[in-house]
Structure 1
Amino acid sequence: MPRILIADDEDSMRALVARAIGMDGHDIVTAQDGAEALEILIREQGAFDLLLTDIQMPVMDGIALALSAARDFPRLTILLMTGFADQRERASNLNAIAHDVITKPFSVADIRAAVADALAAGKAE
């Protein structure tokens, strides 16, 4: 069963995403921001199959989190989420470390498909 770490500062979005991808039987852990997510990654020694993170968050944004996670846990697959076009542009420079960027708002089917795709790509590497 894949383990997924979700980082999003919006409680409702974090809960929606956790419920949506939990329907596929994944083991879900959530964090309120990038700093908390990084603490969890370090504490659990990167024992996740996927990091699903919002880009725009307080304390530590998703790009800083993705850069730290990719440096410390290079086998971790990273999927970014954003509702802002300028943030998507910032993320385009991360193609080497991030599998994809999914744009908010998305449907339950969209996030489930994006996660399945990212997990499949992570296994292929």
Structure 2
Amino acid sequence: MSRILVVDDEEPLRTLVARGLGLDGHSCLTASDGAEALDMLIAEGGRFDLLLTDIRMPLMDGIALALAAKQAFPDLTIMLMTGYAEQRERARSLEAIVSEVMTKPFTIADLRETVMKVIERSIG
């Protein structure tokens, strides 16, 4: 299946998301903030099918990560997660580079379905 980088500063959610996506056969690596994720993207040469990141995080938030990742790896598919309405509004300006924004809380079933749709759209 797909190779996914899951980024969230909350360890329990990060682990739950990675495990849930693993049920569909995806290979997930995780990072605890945007800076760590960007380092991983660069080290891996951008070889991920999806960057799934929370918006609100310390050091480098998900929007800054999305902008930097897309600049470095224009073909990377990006999906955001947020539990904050104001962050969702900030993400609207990124429609050209972000495939989807999921609102927390969400069910793992909804996440799995949305990730599958986003990946299928990115494959074309």
For residue 67 of structure 2, what is the aligned residue in structure 1?
67
State the Cα distance separating 1:121 from its structure 2 match.
Answer: 1.2
Superimposed CA distance per residue, residues 68-110 of structure 1 (whole angstroms, 9 cap, x where no aligned partner): 0111101110000000000000000000000010000000111
Q: Distance in 1 between matches of 2:27 and 2:19?
A: 11
**Aligned-partner Cα distance in 1 for 2:20–2:27:** 12
What residue is the counterpart of 2:56 in the other structure?
56
Work out the CA distance in 2 between the residues paired with 1:117 and 1:91.
19
Aligned residue number for residue 24 of structure 1: 24
Segments ≥4 residues shifted beyond 3 Å: none
Amino acid at match of 1:114: T
TM-score (norm 2): 0.99
State the percentage of identical aligned residues.
60
RMSD (Å) for aligned C-alpha atoms: 0.5
In structure 1, list runs of 5 or more residues that go unmatched.
none
1:14 maps to what in 2?
14
CA distance in 1, matches of 2:67, 2:117: 21
* Matched pairs, number: 124
For structure 2, the 5+ residue unaligned runs are: none
